[in-house]
Homo-oligomer: A and B are copies of this chain.
Amino acid sequence: MAACSIKGRKRLRRGDYSIRANVANALGNPKRLMILDALSDGEMRAGEIVKLLNFEQPTVSRHLALLRRVGIVEQRREGKCVYYRLACSCVTGFFNCIEEVISTRLRRQQRMLSGKGGRA
């Protein structure tokens, strides 16, 4: 006999979660986040990003390729230079959400410390 009740509902979004995960996964790397953060100010050349962040040129190129592959950034060639930009304004929202998760976590940890840990 189950001690805890099971609610019969739950509908899941349909479709391929792998595709969604690929998009999210592209955001799960510190260097890519820095690149996106830079791009959130506007279009930049690949080389500009290399200089700004002081990463290896191939590193930046590969990260940009990955971000482009999943559709987070778009590119535009102008002569010898390739300009990158965010493909979707919602990326900024990602950052805000992450900040929110982190601050929520901090708050919870504070609670832990003063609550559980404080006395005993």
- A: residues with CB less than 8 A from B are 3-4, 6-7, 9-13, 16-34, 37-38, 41, 44-45, 47-48, 51-52, 70-72, 74, 78-81, 87-88, 90-91, 93-102, 104-105, 108
A interface: dominant SS:
helix
Instruction: Please tell me if the beta carbons of A88 and B79 are within 8 angstroms of each other in the complex.
Output: no
Establish whether residues A101 and B45, one from each chain, have CB atoms under 8 Å apart when the complex forms: no
Name the residue on B nearest A109 (C-beta). Answer: B71
Pick 18 A–B contacts, CB within 8 A, sort by A.
Answer: A6-B51, A7-B48, A9-B41, A10-B44, A11-B41, A17-B34, A18-B30, A19-B102, A21-B28, A21-B33, A22-B28, A23-B102, A24-B24, A24-B94, A70-B101, A90-B97, A90-B100, A93-B97
